[in-house]
Amino acid sequence: MRLPRTVAFGVFLGVCFPSWGQPIPVQPASLRPSAAAPAAVGLLTMIVADQRVQNIPYNPQPGDLAICDDFNKFRHFVYKIAGTAAPTHICMVIANTDGKPALLELTGPRLITSKVVIMDVEDRFNGYPGDVMVRRLREPLTAEQSRELTDFAYSQAGKGFALGRVILQGTPVNARSGLRRTLFGKTHYDRTRWFCSEMVVAACCKAQIFDPQRMLANATYPRDLAFDETIDLSSIYHPAVMWSPGESKRVGPLVSKVSRPR
């Protein structure tokens, strides 16, 4: 039986999380270049020297992270109580069964009825009601890694949102840090339900982008994967940059939190 929405969020808001520790360094997997780049989907807006803005075409590659925020004030408040902050959602690029870029997503008309789906990258980015940022892999996946990512994505399609475990994140048995992380932190590959960042970490571990002994899916939030504050992914991923659909100079609110490209 599912808890009413108000009760679920009430439980979640009732308990604060402990503060985060120092960033956890993550070593890159062994990656080798694969073939041809896909067609461009919009632009990435990068801040370069002297705060100048440069737009470059975005060519989605399997393993890239898409980091999103719809600026919902209540959701931001919930994340703050939980010891984290915006951005509030994350998904990732995979290759679909035809080899074309697609998104592994957890979405729906309502949060508690969200499902795991495989979506078109451009349609999803254009339709998202907020800012979208992209964090690109420094090296392309191998064909085998990409295949593992695709197989994982399709095996999880149709599964629901893990409301119960999200509520547990606001209790003393969460896997966020310290002894609780040691006791309860784990990466599972075949959940019946997911939350977005947990699913993305599991997918990356399955494809050997992350080490599952160091990256614990149920202890990771979207912000952990967006910025190198608690988990240092800089050896694997470029910094997150703003995505836009066309010739735009817009720099969204999230971009101020992003370090300059390295």
Confidence of residue 149 (pLDDT cuts 50, 70, 90): very high
Q: How confident is the model at residue 13 (pLDDT cuts 50, 70, 90)?
A: very low
d(CA 228, CA 232): 5
Flag whether 152 is in a domain: yes
* pLDDT confidence tier of residue 35, bands split at 50, 70 and 90: very low
Is 2 inside any structural domain?
no
Q: How crowded is the C-beta side of 22, counted as CA atoms within 13 Å?
A: 1
Q: How much is the average pLDDT of 102-112? A: 90
Predicted confidence band of residue 2 (pLDDT cuts 50, 70, 90):
very low
Lowest mean pLDDT of 27-31, 88-92, 168-172, 195-199, name the range: 27-31
In a domain, 188, yes or no: yes
Q: Residue 120, exposed/middle/buried by CB under 10 A (0-12, 13-18, 19+)?
A: middle
Q: Is residue 109, in this structure, part of any structural domain at all?
A: yes
The count of structural domains within the chain is 1
E runs forming strands in 7-151: 24-25, 43-47, 53-57, 65-69, 89-95, 101-107, 115-119, 131-135
Domain range spanning residue 201?
42-257
Q: Give helix 73-81 / helix 5-14 axis angle, nearest 10°.
A: 40
Element (H, E) at 242: strand 241-244
Identify whether 253 is part of a domain.
yes
Contacts of 151 (CB under 8 A, 6+ apart): none
Determine the Cα–Cα distance for residues 96 and 120; give it in Å rounded to an integer. 9
**What confidence tens digit (pLDDT) does each residue in 164-193 have?**
877 776 666 666 666 666 666 789 999 999
Q: Report pLDDT digits (tens) over 215-236.
A: 999 889 999 999 999 999 999 9
Q: Is residue 11 part of a domain?
A: no
Partners of 231 in the β-ladder: 24
Give mean pLDDT, residues 26-42.
57
Query: Is 53 buried (19+), middle (13-18) or exposed (0-12) by CB count in 10 A?
Result: middle
The overall pTM is greater than 0.75: yes
Q: Which of 34-43, 118-127, 194-203 has the lowest mean pLDDT?
A: 34-43
Kind plus residue range of the DSSP H or E element containing 149: helix 143-156
Residue 204 sits in a domain whose CATH number is 3.90.1720.10
Q: Which of 23, 220, 46 has the alpha carbon at shortest distance from 134? A: 46
Tokens (6 digits) for 247 = 């010739």
Q: What is the DSSP string of 34-52?
A: -SPPPPP-SEEEEE-GGG-
Is residue 234 assigned to a domain? yes
Residue 91 lies inside a defined structural domain of this protein? yes
